[in-house]
Amino acid sequence: MVAMKPSPLARQLTQLLGSDAVLWRSEDLMLYEYDALSSSRLPDVVVLPSTTEHVVSIVKLAARENVPLVARGAGTGLSGGAVATEGGIVIGFSRMKKILEIDLENLRARVQPGVVNMDLT
């Protein structure tokens, strides 16, 4: 069996985020090719940032390399909005799940993008 090597894009992202935050093997990417309703093609790479600074560096790299970005929360959407229809980078926000502030008086909350409704509730 021939070992698959990461793409240049995956290698650049690994330098920015570390190997535990970059998925590039096809068996890992398969989990990100669909949401609760739709299916499409595999992304080129999935990144799992844990800080805002990581997200900024991902966006800058994607812009420089002209690579499409798709933001993904928990993947429970029903419209295909978190599916990479043109390849590119899926930013999975599952590691950014802090509740930053709850303002009960004004019925508002400030959360990171990986917070799911059940946790907020």
Q: pLDDT tens, 72-101? A: 987 676 666 777 878 899 999 999 999 999
Give the residue-averaged pLDDT of 114-118: 89
CATH top class, domain 8-116? alpha beta
Among 1-10, 17-26, 51-60, where is mean pLDDT lowest? Answer: 1-10
Which comes out higher in pLDDT, residue 104 or 82?
A: 104
Predicted TM-score of the model (pTM): 0.85
Tell me how crowded residue 52 is: count the other CB atoms within 10 A of its CB: 11
Task: Point out which residues pair with 85 in neighbouring strands.
Answer: 87
Residue ranges with strand state E in the chain: 22-23, 45-47, 69-72, 89-92, 99-103, 108-111
Eight-state DSSP code of residue 20: G
The residue that leads in pLDDT, 53 or 116, is 53
Q: Examine the pLDDT at 103 and tell me if it is beyond 90.
A: yes
Task: Give the pLDDT score at 67.
Answer: 96
Could you count the other beta carbons within 10 Å of the beta carbon of residue 63? Answer: 10
What pLDDT, on the 0 to 100 scale, is given for residue 32? 87
For residue range 48-61, list pLDDT tens digits in order: 999 999 999 999 99
Annotate 96-121 with b (16+ C-beta within 10 A) or e (fewer).
bbeeeeeeeeeeeeebbbbbeeeeee
Count other Cβ atoms within 10 Å, centred on residue 69. Answer: 17
90 bridge partner residues: 46, 70
HSE-CB of 109 using CA atoms within 13 angstroms: 14
Average pLDDT for 98-120:
93
In the predicted structure, residue 37 carries a pLDDT above the cut 60: yes
